[in-house]
Structures are given as C-alpha cells and as structure tokens.
A and B are shown apart, each in its own frame.
Chain A
C-alpha cells in the first residue's frame, strides 16, 4: 500500500497546462461597420499573432461564403476583415474551432 502523502506532487502542473492550451490571450473584438447602402463589414481584432490569420481567413471565407482579407495595422496587429454581417457566424466558428473562448469574444456594434 502506498502512502499518499509521499507521492510527488507538482503544484505548478495546472499552471503549465493552462498556459500551453491557451494561446489566445486578451479579448477578441468583433465589430461591424456600415458601408454604403445595406452593406456591412465585420472586423475581428485581437486574435493571437501565433495563429496563422491567413489560414483562418481562408477557412472563414469558405465557411461563411463571403470574401475577406487580413489587414496589417501598425497598432492593432493583424486584423481580419470579412464582408457582410458575420458577427454571429464568426463567434460561433471561433468557439467551435477552439481558437477563442466565448468569454474572450467581445461583440461590438448594434
């Protein structure tokens, strides 16, 4: 019979595990902008730079059947830009694919 107290226990095991499955830190801001007429743009700002945004945008374009691009911004880093109101779509997709947690998403706009 083993004595439980003598087992080696790493108190930081949780911390290490928490760090590496959580690449995304900080909020992901999802905004909407009105263009001319009924047209809108959706911007996704704050995705971790460790993600390959180009791949993400490629997947999004296919998934939502819209066009999109990655824009380099000196202050905000790489920003996803999608055509149309994709706020709900992108929220669902980001959580489903595990890129961001629901509490990290912040949806702006009306």
Chain B
C-alpha cells in the first residue's frame, strides 16, 4: 500500500526503490545488530543530520519522517503556486488538501516501520552527491517543520488571498485550534504508534523466521497465541514458536509482507475502533473476543480468526498415506 502511494506522489522515488531492494537485506542485518550499532550507523550515513538529533534517532527513525515530509513539501509547492496565482479557481484546490488528509490518515493508522527510514536515507545519500550544504539546510528545515508548523504555512498560503476558503481548509483550521487549546486531547490528535519493525529472515528455502515475534507481542500487549493464530490464518500456512521465542513460518515471506499482515492485525485487534487509540484490552467473553478501550471506554466485538478454506497444496499421495 505504502509503495503505491509512493509511486503516486513521488515519481522520482522509483529509481531509489530499485536501489533499495538490493540493499534492503543489509539494512535489516544492521538493524538486527541492535540499537547502538544502529545509531552509530545512522550517524555515519547521515553526517548532514544535526548532532542534536542523534540521541533520539532510534525513535525518529521509526516514524515516517522522510516520506511524510517529502509529501508535505510537494503540497506546499502546489499551494504556493496557487497563492501566487490568486485568480486560480478552486477547481483543484479542494481535492488537494483532501488528498493530503487521506495520506495523513493512512499513515497514522498503520504504524510506521523502518521501511520509510530506509527511503529517507537513500534520499539523503543521493542528495549528498548533488549538493551537500543544501541538503543540510533542508534537514534543518525538516526538523524545524516538525508537527504543527506545516499547518501554519498552509494557513499562510490562503491567508493573504481573498478567495473563498474551502471546507477542508476550514476543517483543518478548526482542528488545529482545538489541538492548540488542549494538546492532551486524544480524539483529534493522532497518536503515533511507534514500534520496531518485524525482523524476518529466511531459513533455508522453505521456512521463514520472524525473530522478534514475542517482542512485538509485548509491545502490542497481546497474547502471542492470538497473534500467531492470526498470522497463520492470514498467511494460510503453518508455523510455530521455537525455543528462542522466534516464530517459524512455513513458506517464503518478506518483511514487507509480514508488515502488511501486522498492520491489518493492529487495525482490527489493537487500535480502538472508535477512537483509534492503541490503549486497549482484548478479552474473551463467551467465545467472542471483545476489544475494550482504556481511553474512551468503548467496547466492541472483533472478528474471530478463521483460516477459512484451505486448498490442498501438498502432495496428495502423502496426505492419503497419512490418513489411511
């Protein structure tokens, strides 16, 4: 999903994506080494990053900084163009912020894995080659622009002109004022749900290992069994947790694919369906699972995990031999 969006919004990324594919495995390996190595790695790679940012690098990396920023920037340019031409009709204007909103939504919904980080790095590297000082400036700007600032510049873009405000702009403004007045409000402010990416390594040719499975279960506050059931039902395979608490799945899977399934799991079984807060408890009640939200107090039933129809993929002769 994320990839599709990328290709839509940022055609220039295509090239990098190809490049990323080749290096993706090394990155994962680096990640697997542990966070200190990770941090140092980052500093090596991005010398242009200001030093103040290094200490909280780990957290930052998991957020979708680079990607989001890129999009935001693009949006700015468009809007600046619009403000430059005040006679421009609102034909494309309403669609534009809406699009942006949608992007925001989807990004907050699915938590951000390090995939986004990789892309960012790649961009940095390429930029290095082109213009280093410019990049530095951009990085600083990015840091400064964190959070609400982009909204402010949005307002400025239509503040001066005397054209009519679109509904989306006004809506955005109202929400922004609400955030400013009470920052601890949950429903409006979209909370980032930061978690470590799944470490997926292939074992041999037929099996895949999901190394930090229990860790992810802990961060999601879910029973490993429940997540295991979901993963296996969704992937349509079999698997088990081995001695060093890693999950072994039959079949070839890549990190991206596991991420997708995890996203779906979080959407269905972790985030509250009403307020989308991840602060929920999953409890079983008369054979049904209920999701109780700690933030808004809502309680709703969630879909049961069913693997559904499973086609015969193995050797039929072997199955017949087993049953008789």
Contacts and interface: CB of A to CB of B under 8 A. Distances in A.
Given A34-B252, A110-B258, A81 B235 contact: no
A33 B233 CA distance: 10
Q: How large is the interface on A (under 10, 10 to 19, 20 to 34, 35 or more residues)?
A: 10 to 19
Majority secondary structure, A binding face: strand
A43 B237 contact: no
Contacts of A29: 308-309
A34 B311 contact: no
A40 to B, nearest CB: 9
A96 interface: no
B236 A109 contact: yes
A57 interface: no
Nearest to A35: B313
Majority secondary structure, B binding face: loop
Contact of B313 (A41, A108, A109): A41
Q: How large is the interface on B (under 10, 10 to 19, 20 to 34, 35 or more residues)?
A: 10 to 19
A32 interface: yes
Given A33-B236, A109-B234, A109-B236, A43 B311 contact: yes
A41 B253 CA distance: 15
Contacts of B233: 108
Contact of B253 (A31, A35, A81, A110): A110
Nearest to B259: A110
A32 B309 contact: no
A110 B309 contact: no
A31 B237 CA distance: 11
Interface string B234-268: 11110000000000000111001110110000000
A41 B235 CA distance: 12
B254 to A, nearest CB: 8
Query: Of B233, B237, B253, B311, which is in contact with the most chain A CB atoms at under 10 Å from its CB?
Result: B311
A71 interface: yes
A43 B309 contact: yes
B48 to A, nearest CB: 35
Nearest to A69: B311
B158 to A, nearest CB: 34
Contacts of A34: 235-237, 251-252, 313
